[in-house]
A and B are shown apart, each in its own frame.
Chain A
């Protein structure tokens, strides 16, 4: 690991000043940044520890009913917040399906949004990688690429965004609140993560030196709470990234679908909102035929980027299945295996 200067600001202004230094990187839970510093993929000169900043660790219900989650709220803390889990159960389920108990205690909301791809060549400085070093090529093409993107990829980069949390956040039309040297601004969640195009090194809408302060969830999203699920297909039962995942939220009116939200994870460089599939469901009877069609529509544009054509069929089936789960109703109890296709029937209270 390259040697760095360590600073621990106690105010936002101090943090922004430190973040403006050349080669600075913000450190939150550290579970992604420190890992990549160990491989040498990230080599900051200054590590700015933002974990002691005030006011970024709260979950607040705003006057208009929106819910604001501070960027430093730990993944485990958010999932265990009973009022939050009741209002946004698919987000809680996605959080509980991510990483391990230890990592969820460390990982923050902001860090989860900003985590890098798990493409092995990105993490390895000896490999060619346009995302890490523009213009060097892409060793994943023709390499180990079973888990790479089937939607929105480019010739320059076929990596996926690995987050679980971000999938239901996309489905909820969340808003990312940002503070920076030039003041505060907001970015809709759907525009926060960038598709690779010709510039795979630009992964998010965040400008250098900016800090994610919070994510705001529209209060309307609570209307989906009775029918909101997350499904995550993994290569082992737990403690593994998604091969493909999907979030589904429904508003039902006498057996017909009044409103649908669908997003996929593990298929693209950003959490993938399936707008056409959502639109096609409105007014339909909530049955398997409709869910199957939604799966087809969600993956209509998909094409393999390597040895991963199987992910297209897996994505269709995951969408159909998570819609069926959502239609059946959000369980009162968090499954023993959150988001798992192997979910058992036993469980504990999702909210007290």
Chain B
């Protein structure tokens, strides 16, 4: 049986015919919609590399069956820049060396954007580390990531910041 699936992805409505219900949201984005920003690290919910926002909430796209989010609004790393300029969290990751190889970075940034929406401005590094513990970085760029999120949080809450 073929299922029809309609999603808003990064502001654009997409209708996809799915011949196989096993397709995860991650595979849909990467293999069928050509959006390879979200990464497949573990495919088991254990690393956070696949993090995207569904209706504004961060989720692991690898543990989400695509059909279950029919009708939802999906935001991926490809959709966060506005009018050609980087999202403040993206800019802060560059300013603070929040990555090395970059594999975990799309997931880190989407998770940080989701975290700020949940928790509001974040200044306490402990809170940031705990809030982002669902995103592993095999390069160990955690110090830069924490600083980047702190700084972006200041900018987004209108309290200045360096990035």
Query: Interface of A with B (CB < 8 Å)?
Result: 1, 3-6, 8, 27, 30-31, 34-35, 38, 47, 49, 51, 76, 80, 99-103, 105-106, 237-239, 336-338, 344, 346-348
Known pairs A4-B21, A347-B124 / 13 extra A-B pairs, C-beta < 8 Å? A1-B22, A5-B1, A8-B68, A30-B65, A35-B45, A49-B65, A102-B48, A102-B51, A103-B60, A105-B114, A237-B129, A338-B130, A344-B126
14 A-B pairs with CB atoms under 8 Å apart are A8-B70, A30-B63, A35-B63, A38-B43, A51-B68, A100-B135, A102-B114, A105-B58, A106-B59, A106-B63, A336-B130, A346-B124, A348-B124, A348-B127
Cβ-closest 5 pairs across A and B: A100-B134, A238-B133, A6-B21, A336-B126, A239-B133
Given A49-B67, A239-B133: A105 and B127 interface contact (C-beta under 8 Å): no
Q: 1/0 contact trace for B44-63 toward A, CB 8 Å?
A: 11001001000001111001
Q: In the complex, which of the residues A38, A80, A101, A348 has the most CB atoms of chain B within 10 Å of its own CB atom?
A: A101
Complex CA–CA separation, A237 to B126 (angstroms): 11
Q: Is the CB of A101 within 8 A of B118?
A: yes
Residues of A within 8 A of B51 (CB): 102
Q: Is the CB of A105 within 8 A of B57?
A: yes
Tally of chain B residues near chain A (CB < 8 A): 36
Complex CA–CA separation, A80 to B124 (angstroms): 19
Q: Is the CB of A4 within 8 A of B64?
A: no
Q: Is the CB of A101 within 8 A of B58?
A: yes
Residues of B within 8 A of A239 (CB): 133-134
A97 to chain B, nearest CB (A): 10
Q: Is the CB of B63 within 8 A of A31?
A: yes
Complex CA–CA separation, A29 to B59 (angstroms): 10
B40 to chain A, nearest CB (A): 12
Contact check: which of A1, A5, A76, A103 meets B118 at CB < 8 Å? A76
Complex CA–CA separation, A346 to B3 (angstroms): 49
Q: In the complex, which of the residues A47, A102, A106 has the most CB atoms of chain B within 10 Å of its own CB atom?
A: A102
Residues of B within 8 A of A6 (CB): 3, 21, 65, 67
Q: Is the CB of A102 within 8 A of B21?
A: no
Interface positions, chain B 97-122, Cβ under 8 Å from A, are 111, 114-115, 118-119
Interface positions, chain B 118-163, Cβ under 8 Å from A, are 118-119, 124, 126-127, 129-135
**B12 proximal to A (CB < 8 A):** no
A230 to chain B, nearest CB (A): 15
Interface positions, chain B 5-45, Cβ under 8 Å from A, are 20-22, 24, 43-45
Q: Is the CB of A4 within 8 A of B22?
A: yes
Q: Is the CB of A35 within 8 A of B67?
A: no
Complex CA–CA separation, A106 to B64 (angstroms): 9
A98 to chain B, nearest CB (A): 11
A122 to chain B, nearest CB (A): 14
Contact check: which of B21, B43, B45, B111 meets A101 at CB < 8 Å? B111
Contact check: which of A5, A38, A80, A99 meets B134 at CB < 8 Å? A99
Complex CA–CA separation, A102 to B111 (angstroms): 8
Q: Is the CB of B68 within 8 A of A102?
A: no
Residues of B within 8 A of A337 (CB): 126, 130
Complex CA–CA separation, A347 to B135 (angstroms): 21
B119 to chain A, nearest CB (A): 7
Which B residue's beta carbon lies closest to that of A34? B63
Given A102-B134, A348-B119: A35 and B44 interface contact (C-beta under 8 Å): yes
Complex CA–CA separation, A239 to B131 (angstroms): 10
Q: In the complex, which of the residues A6, A8, A100 has the most CB atoms of chain B within 10 Å of its own CB atom?
A: A100
Residues of B within 8 A of A4 (CB): 21-22
Q: Is the CB of A346 within 8 A of B127?
A: yes
Residues of B within 8 A of A99 (CB): 134
Given A35-B45, A76-B118: A103 and B64 interface contact (C-beta under 8 Å): no
Residues of A within 8 A of B63 (CB): 30-31, 34-35, 103, 106
